Amino acid sequence: MKFSNFLFPQAETPERDEQVIDETLAEARLCDKLGMETLWLAEHHFDGNCAYVDPVSFAAALAVATKQIKIGLAVAQMSLHHPIRMAEQMAMVDNLSKGRLIVGLGRGTAHNIYDYRGFGIDPAEAQERLIEAEEIMIKAWTTTNYEHHGKYWDLWLPILRPSVYTKPHPALIRACSGEESMLEMAREGRPFLMNVQTDEVTKHRMDLYRKTMRASGFGEAHVAKAVDETWVWRNIFIADTDAEAERIGIPLFEEQREHRGRMRKRILEERGESMAKPGETGAAPAYARNVTEHSLICGSPATVAERLTKIDAIGVGGVILQFRLGSSSYDIVENSVRLFMDKVAPEFRTRAAA
């Protein structure tokens, strides 16, 4: 099981943006130095939930600021991007990083109506835009004299430049918040990103994912490879003792939860607009990602390792761990990352080598 850091830094006010962005770069360099597998980048707009906002430009910054760590998008909200511009930008980052890029795509937020309103996009179009945009990007990377006539884009280009570093194109992965979208990836034999779920739902989905791939005709080698490239998300806080971790980490997580909901509440009150909807069949309740016991791995290195062992037993490729919670100071984040890489990650490397 691989470990990665979800760089999802909160900036409470606009005055904090610069500092938080600088600290996030420092956090990325630290993870690169300590040998973490991957950095993942989010995309959220207008609310300070993700200080750097744009994963594309930040991925380019990380490509030159780091040396060996992979850089993944988790995810680009494709309903907000032009697919040809995105294909160009990803080709550039692929070159800058010398093939360390993972292009993670999603339909767009299922929570923040203002993300769509700010770009003049109808959220009802988001899924269709994602599917069409992904097709365009793959063809743009791999085809010359390319024409496309679709529902949302009508275009022609002689050749995409720069050409991609990774052939035939950078690694692609899709975010799947619901069970049906996960099954779609299974039928196509593709890896996916799972958002925060309970361990029970995570196991149910991974078992169903493997079963569906086999039923769709994929052999065991392909199934194993797809699972190895699949990632699940958890928040994390580590301190020297359980008591210290709970004393510091839980309030930070609760503050983060409140901050992420504040703008949604304000928009609902001011404009009467919301994207709230019931949880879908087979999914954890919509609020599960905000429930501490489901979303947050919190404790001493030994406690954290024990909790991660349960996820490892489920059979996933890797865990996306968000180390920076709420308004954490950089010192707190650095300590948590170092404790993890010094005292937790080695246990799993030893098991893998045995």
Q: How confident is the model at residue 251 (pLDDT cuts 50, 70, 90)?
A: very high
Which residues partner with 297 through β-bridges? 236
State how many domains the chain has.
1
How many degrees, rounded to 5, is the angle at CA 227 between CA 103 and CA 201?
Answer: 100
81-116: burial string, b at 16+ Cβ within 10 Å, e else: bebbebbbbbbbbbbbbeebbbbbbbbbbebbbbbb
Please determine, for residue 96, whether its predicted confidence score (pLDDT) is greater than 90: yes
> What is the percent of the chain with per-residue pLDDT over 90, rounded to a whole number?
92
The average pLDDT across 77-95 equals 98
The average pLDDT across 57-74 equals 98
Please determine, for residue 134, whether its predicted confidence score (pLDDT) is greater than 60: yes
Q: pLDDT tens for residues 218-235?
A: 999 999 999 999 999 999
In this predicted structure, what is the pLDDT of residue 349? Answer: 85
The average pLDDT across 47-72 equals 98
Question: Contact, 121 vs 79, CB < 8 A?
Answer: yes
Rounded Cα distance between 11 and 89, Å, is 26
In this predicted structure, what is the pLDDT of residue 282? Answer: 36
The average pLDDT across 31-38 equals 98
In this predicted structure, what is the pLDDT of residue 290? Answer: 63
Closest CA to 65 of 90, 96, 20: 96
Please determine, for residue 74, whether its predicted confidence score (pLDDT) is greater than 50: yes
Beta strand extents in 23-159 (DSSP E only): 38-41, 70-73, 76-77, 101-106, 146-149, 154-157
CATH code at 98?
Answer: 3.20.20.30
Query: How many helices (H) and strands (E) would you count in the chain?
Result: 13, 12
In this predicted structure, what is the pLDDT of residue 54? Answer: 98
Least confident of 177-181, 206-210, 283-287: 283-287
> What is the percent of the chain with per-residue pLDDT over 70, rounded to a whole number?
95
Q: How confident is the model at residue 105 (pLDDT cuts 50, 70, 90)?
A: very high
In this predicted structure, what is the pLDDT of residue 350? Answer: 77
Q: How confident is the model at residue 289 (pLDDT cuts 50, 70, 90)?
A: low
Please determine, for residue 86, whether its predicted confidence score (pLDDT) is greater than 60: yes
In this predicted structure, what is the pLDDT of residue 279? Answer: 44
Which two three-digit tokens encode residue 252? Answer: 């930070």
The whole domain housing 192 covers 2-353
Rounded Cα distance between 296 and 294, Å, is 6
Q: pLDDT tens for residues 261-284?
A: 999 999 999 999 999 764 433 333
Q: What pTM does this model have?
A: 0.95
In this predicted structure, what is the pLDDT of residue 283? Answer: 37
Indicate the average pLDDT of the chain: 95
Taking residue 239's Cβ as centre, other Cβ atoms within 10 Å add up to: 22
